[in-house]
Amino acid sequence: MPSYGECHSTVIRASPEACFDALTDYEALPSWQGAVRSARVVERDADGTVVEFEVDAKLKRVRYRLRQVEERPDRLGCEYLGGDFRDFSGEWRFVADGKGTRVELELHIDPGRLVPRPVRSAISNAVMSRALADLKMYLEA
């Protein structure tokens, strides 16, 4: 089955630490991340934080569980633990520049079946473009 991957980025007028802190306050994500309907911390251990997500991908709500691997303040990666996909991996990267922080979001998703291009675009927009735009609006407000 096909796997789909993309990388989106933006510059945010905030420090890498502020970006990292916003994204690792998992239970608060639904209050400012428009696509995130719920985020629940299941456990915290030396390997990371296990979080269950429910995301509105416009055409369908998807649920999945990730182990968030925190490398403060430069990177927030994840390990897929299960859910509505066959596989899911990704990471947020934060690089300070003269204008604030360049934030990159890279995701690779294997839905377990062929997904038509319009559906992939809707999911990509919901999960990636909106996530970056929401983070920018939240931190720059």
Tens of pLDDT, residues 84-110: 888 889 999 999 988 899 999 998 887
Q: Name the domain count of the chain.
A: 1
pTM (whole model) above 0.75:
yes
CATH of the domain at 59: 3.30.530.20
Provide mean pLDDT across the span 115-132. Answer: 73
pLDDT digits (tens, 9 = 90+) for 20-39: 999 999 999 999 999 899 99
Print the domain residue range for 77. 4-140
The pLDDT-based confidence of 75 (bands split at 50, 70, 90) is very high
* pLDDT for residue 124 is more than 70: no
C-alpha span between 14 and 110 (Å, rounded): 32
pLDDT tens-digit map of 57-70: 777 788 999 999 99
**What pLDDT is stored for residue 1 in this prediction?**
41
Task: Strands of the chain (E only): list them.
Answer: 4-12, 36-45, 48-56, 61-71, 75-83, 87-97, 100-110
